[in-house]
A = this chain, B = another copy of it.
Amino acid sequence: MNPPTYDIAAVTTRAACLALDAADPAAPLRDRFDLPEGVIYLDGNSLGARPRAALDRTRDVVAQEWGQGLIRSWNTAGWFALPGRLGDRLAPLIGATAGEVVVTDTTSLNLFKALAAALAIQADRDPARKVLVTERSNFPTDIYMADGLARWLDRGYRIHLVDSPEELEAAVDADCAVLMLTHVNYRTGRMHDMAALTRHAHACGALVLWDLAHSAGAVPVDLNGADADFAVGCTYKYLNGGPGAPAFIWVPRRHQAAFRHPLTGWWSHAAPFAMAHGFEAADGIGRALCGTQPVVSLALVECGLEIFEATSMAALRAKSLALTDLFIALAESRCAAHPLGLVTPREHAARGSQVSFTHPHGYAVMQALIARGVIGDYREPEIMRFGFTPLYTSFADVWDAVEILRDILDRADYDTRAERSAVT
């Protein structure tokens, strides 16, 4: 089935947006979510909205599985199998196959495992490779975790922080052990060419670890098609798994036998209940687990994943690009009198599912937007982020958000004295 097309070129009225919504095959998916009244939610790139099914599912897990099933539910309710079952269900969204993904722990910890495994593989292949290449603009925790790993290994690893995407290829050379990148940048919304960068890194003998925090559920990803080596990502953004829901890790079959990391908890053991004294890693993706998982939060991830089975990433991508194209076009035309600077690439191939604009008073403007029900967020310096989740964002939402932004800017109705809080 071909993805739907959205013709946004001639959209200059709210009525035209409503017409797009009326014709949108993805529009009914919005009913699968519970969204607050009076809010235009453009922060699904930070925390996805709540699937309606999550409330019943929570009640089942808490009242029935925990309350009534008690310890028996580890087997009867399938709690032990959840990381793998959810991983299998997530796999098609990122070009993975069943048995290659588990939902577990946090993105930070999964990145630590994958990076440790990658360095160990390279230490066997080519121990002279000591450089880990990433971007200075990567999400900081990725760099912190890599730094923690490198310092503690104390074997001469160093992190090369590249300042612009254009310099990446040159930075991957014969000294590079691992290229570690976030596929879609959290501030700019810029997306890397996964296949091309992976190919280049492999040609140079490096392994590639992708962080899909802002990609999974947002853009089509084809890890196996790109021949990537490892990936981690987040379920609480575009996958709508719930606040702080466990993250995922992907290890392709070809690397599973060599996948070794130091976080060898009992869930990664070949026979966790044998209570054997010696550690023996599970076969397959199970070795990427560590300890007991938070079942209630974990179970809710399924409510987000099942919604994707009513559509396709190709269809969602078509709508996502239409939403972001329209937002850019309307913001630039209707707010032309104001100093908005587009940070996100115009080129579709280099754009995730968010749009970032700078404004000299970006923080204050974002606070004013939030006060009027348009929820995006702010990142230094001066960047207003707007995330577009095609599952529940409508074209009328885009129109209304831009009109509220325009009104705020036209009337300078924002408080530049507003203190910058830690989180916005």
Stretch of A73-81, A86-94, A329-337 with 4 or more beta carbons under 8 angstroms from chain B: A73-81
Stretch of A24-32, A136-144, A215-223, A317-325 with 4 or more beta carbons under 8 angstroms from chain B: A136-144
**B71 in contact with A46 (CB, 8 Å):** yes
On whether A380 and B275 interact (CB within 8 A), knowing A148-B263, A244-B292, A290-B109, the answer reads yes
**A263 in contact with B141 (CB, 8 Å):** no
Interface centre among A109, A266, A296 (most CB of B within 10 A): A296
Interface centre among A50, A145, A151, A265 (most CB of B within 10 A): A265
On whether A149 and B262 interact (CB within 8 A), knowing A62-B242, A72-B375, A243-B296, the answer reads yes
**Beta-carbon contacts under 8 Å, A228-267 to B:** 236, 242-247, 261-266
Q: Does A409 contact B (CB under 8 A)?
A: no
**A145 in contact with B263 (CB, 8 Å):** yes
**A67 in contact with B34 (CB, 8 Å):** yes
* Tier of interface size on chain A: 35 or more
| Cβ–Cβ < 8 Å partners of A41 in chain B | 70
Q: Which of B39, B277, B294, B375 contacts A245 (CB 8 A)?
A: B294
Q: Mark A405-424, 1 if CB is under 8 A from B, else 0.
A: 00000000000000001110
**B59 in contact with A293 (CB, 8 Å):** no
The distance in angstroms between the C-alpha atoms of A261 and B147, with both chains bound, is: 11
**B244 in contact with A298 (CB, 8 Å):** yes
Q: Closest B-chain residue to A112, C-beta based? A: B263
The distance in angstroms between the C-alpha atoms of A56 and B65, with both chains bound, is: 16
**A423 in contact with B80 (CB, 8 Å):** yes
**Beta-carbon contacts under 8 Å, A295-336 to B:** 295-298, 300
Q: Closest B-chain residue to A301, C-beta based? A: B294
Q: Closest B-chain residue to A234, C-beta based? A: B292
Q: Which of B144, B244, B297, B423 contacts A75 (CB 8 A)?
A: B423
**A242 in contact with B296 (CB, 8 Å):** yes
Q: Which of B71, B140, B370, B421 contacts A269 (CB 8 A)?
A: B140
